[in-house]
Amino acid sequence: MRDRTRYLYLAVIVAVLLGILVGFVWPEVGKELKPLGTGFVALIQMVIGPIIFCTIVLGVGSVRQAAQVGKVGGLALGYFIAMSTVALLIGLLVGNVIDPGSGLQLTDAARQSAEAEAAKGSEGDMVAFLLGIIPDTVLSALTSGSVLQALLVALLAGFAIQAMGAKGKPILRGVEHLQRLVFRILAMIMWAAPVGAFGAIAAVVGATGIEALKSLAIIMIAFYVTCVLFVGVVLGTILWLVARINLWSLLRYLGREFLLILSTSSSETALPRLIAKMEHLGVSKTVAGITVPTGYSFNLDGTAIYLTMATLFIASATGSPLEFGEQVALLLFMMIASKGAAGVTGAGLATLAGGLQAHRPELVDGVGLIVGIDRFMSEARALTNFAGNAVATVLVGTWTDGFDRERAGQVLAGQAPFDEATLLDEEEETDERPEPEPGDREMSKV
């Protein structure tokens, strides 16, 4: 079957270029197009809860030994903490070396923007975060838009089905059909990607223009270079040493997802496709179903780098540089506070403002300095977070014997293309059907 979706992603590229043009030439018109981008992201978020629920229930419920689920989750969390710490240290190193905020001064407009972001960022704390994981009802976890709530309910449902034994198999089969339905809906939504990308890019370019990029070029370039080096050097080396997989082959395989994130500035829009593609690559359902959604809440490599460099930038710009101990304490707090918001556009800015408000209130005014370009920096955050989650899924699969390296070689070589129409492997599902009984064979012959 011919893959017609390649035209869709070519259309996304054209739409992004047109959006940039409209934003520069007719900025007021570009601002009015913002609802197009907002609506497309909302459509994607509409199916996030059901997709996470289905994938985790299938992943956990199909495993006979509950210990395997605990092993996967434990390894994933340990890896996430380690890599977030590495990203934090890299951001601290780069931020202290380049000192990008020296010589800048605050303006009244920047102060007002900062106060607005601080108000949003200071609303939550660790207790509220933990209590927020518990949904009002089981069904509300699928409709609230919270990744962590859907994750909790899906884990409970998966373990419950696992405990039911053979009686739980019909439920699993029903969840498989529901997953197929949701993926079909997602595939239909993706045809609106060019419209969404056009509106989102036109709006941000129309609102910020070129001046914001000129005045803060140093922090932006430094942040992008740091993210590229982190992904290419740190993640690429670990992936090759552990799984013997070439990073650039993996990133090329996920090229359409990166384009989708680039156009929407939200890694959450690519979450369902990442789960499907990791399973197609050869990662087991259990590993993909647990590692990917968990990574979206806890594996925030790009966000850690952003919070580090943005904090040092603001401290330098306001003439209040932080001591090293203050840097570490403040940024560790921000890393914890940002859990669960990785896929939400602008969540990094709110976390930054809230962390500064809690630890160094005099620095909150400086958040307004980067409000104008946060939309562009959020793209690098989302892309880095996404790459980190893809690599983490392969690594956890390798460590838990849930990764088929031979299958991965075929997929990355283009010998087993991904089915863009359904986002599911039809052949694998066919192979999973039970063999007919001898009596059934005789009846079929008749």
Query: Residue 220 in contact with residue 37, Cβ under 8 Å?
Result: no
What integer pLDDT is reported at residue 295 of this predicted model? 82
**Angle, CA 198 vertex, CA 206 and CA 417 arms, to 5°:** 145
Output the CA torsion sign for 412, 416, 418, 423: negative
What integer pLDDT is reported at residue 233 of this predicted model? 93
Q: How far apart are CA 435 and CA 425, in angstroms?
A: 19
Instruction: State the Cα torsion 381-384-389-390 to the nearest 10°.
Output: 140
Q: How far apart are CA 334 and CA 358, in angstroms?
A: 10
Percent of the chain whose pLDDT exceeds 70: 68
Strand partners, 359: none
Concatenated DSSP letters of 345-399? TTHHHHHHHHHHHHH-GGGGGGGHHHHHHHHHHHHHHHHHHHHHHHHHHHHHHHH
- Measure CA 272 to chain center: 10
Check whether 435 has a pLDDT greater than 60: no
> Phi and psi dihedrals of 340, rounded to 5?
90, -5
Q: How far apart are CA 248 and CA 245, in angstroms?
A: 9
What mean pLDDT do residues 183-209 have? 77
**Angle, CA 130 vertex, CA 127 and CA 133 arms, to 5°:** 145
Tokens 């990764």, residue? 403
CB atoms within 10 A of CB 235: 24
Query: Which of 323, 334, 274, 322 lies closest to 125 in space, CA to CA?
Result: 334
Output the CA torsion sign for 314, 93, 96, 100: negative
Check whether 241 has a pLDDT greater than 90: yes
User: Helices 48-61 and 271-281: crossing angle, nearest 10°?
Assistant: 30
Residues in the chain: 446
Query: Residue 203 in contact with residue 30, Cβ under 8 Å?
Result: yes
Tokens 């739409």, residue? 15
Query: Residue 351 in contact with residue 89, Cβ under 8 Å?
Result: no
Query: Residue 290 in contact with residue 56, Cβ under 8 Å?
Result: yes
Query: Residue 127 in contact with residue 119, Cβ under 8 Å?
Result: no
**Which of 199-203, 226-230, 360-364 bottoms out in mean pLDDT, i.e. has the lowest?**
360-364
What integer pLDDT is reported at residue 299 of this predicted model? 78
Q: How far apart are CA 228 and CA 181, in angstroms?
A: 37
Most distant CA atoms of the chain, gap in Å: 88
Q: Which domains does the chain show, CATH number per domain?
A: 5-415 (1.10.3860.10)
Q: How does residue 388 score in pLDDT terms, banded at 50, 70 and 90?
A: very high
What mean pLDDT do residues 106-125 have? 50
Q: How does residue 390 score in pLDDT terms, banded at 50, 70 and 90?
A: very high
Q: Please tell me whether residue 122 adopts helix, strand or coil conformation.
A: coil
**Angle, CA 363 vertex, CA 358 and CA 364 arms, to 5°:** 65
Q: Please tell me whether residue 403 adopts helix, strand or coil conformation.
A: strand
Distances in Å between the Cα of 216 and the Cα atoms of 13, 39, 105, 369 are: 26, 30, 12, 9
Q: How does residue 432 score in pLDDT terms, banded at 50, 70 and 90?
A: very low
Query: Residue 31 in contact with residue 197, Cβ under 8 Å?
Result: no
What mean pLDDT do residues 347-359 have? 63
What integer pLDDT is reported at residue 440 of this predicted model? 45
Q: Is the pLDDT higher at 95 or at 393?
A: 393
Check whether 79 has a pLDDT greater than 60: yes
What mean pLDDT do residues 435-446 have? 42
Q: How far apart are CA 205 and CA 24, in angstroms?
A: 6
Residue type for position 382:
A
Strand partners, 283: 403
Check whether 178 has a pLDDT greater than 70: yes
Distances in Å between the Cα of 147 and the Cα atoms of 1, 7, 232, 297, 378 are: 34, 31, 28, 8, 19
Distances in Å between the Cα of 239 and the Cα atoms of 73, 394, 396, 397 are: 19, 8, 11, 12
**Which of 81-90, 153-162, 228-237, 256-265 bottoms out in mean pLDDT, i.e. has the lowest?**
256-265
Q: Is the pLDDT higher at 42 or at 90?
A: 90
Q: Please tell me whether residue 418 adopts helix, strand or coil conformation.
A: coil
What integer pLDDT is reported at residue 73 of this predicted model? 78
| 244-277 residue pLDDT tens | 999 999 999 998 888 888 776 667 778 888 988 9
| 322-345 residue pLDDT tens | 777 777 777 776 666 555 444 444
Output the CA torsion sign for 3, 245, 64, 47: negative
What integer pLDDT is reported at residue 398 of this predicted model? 93
Residue 421 parent element (H or E)? none
